[in-house]
Structure 1
Amino acid sequence: MLSSCVTYDFKNSKNEYFGGAISPGLHMRYKAMHTFTEKLPLLEPEEEVSLIGNSTRNSMHTGAIMGLTAEIDGMIDAYRAVIKN
């Protein structure tokens, strides 16, 4: 089962928790594209996606999966920047 949300936890090397963030998960992103538009289909994630979609379906997969991947990478980079300061 895919999670509905992605959670980020900011902890230090002593395992002290400072807070975090909650963001829509992959399943929720697909469901939102379907629910809040008139014609986009409800899709299930695919294992392989290209960086540039060449159809509506492929573009939805690229946006959902690559978008989430970029978000996760961005959060990790942002947390690392806080640790360095």
Structure 2
Amino acid sequence: MAYIIPLLLGIIVYLLYTNSKLNGEVRRLKSGQEKFITADGEGHPVDHELRRMVREGEEIKAIKKARQTLGLSLVEGKQYVDRLKRE
């Protein structure tokens, strides 16, 4: 019975730590969204070039360009290009 309290305290500390990390990640992602939208509500200036690349069958090059230009991870770049394809 005496081990239950330290165990629960450890779990609570772990959950608080994890929650703090997730909150930081959410803040980072929210601030990152701003770089994809210009003041006039249009997308990033590179979007037109990325759409052209996709139309020409160069999706992989478009993902690479999105990653380089916008500082995205591979998954984020793929998702960004996929979103442009759907628009």
- TM-score normalised by the chain length of structure 2: 0.32
The structure richer in strand per residue is 1
The structure richer in helix per residue is 2
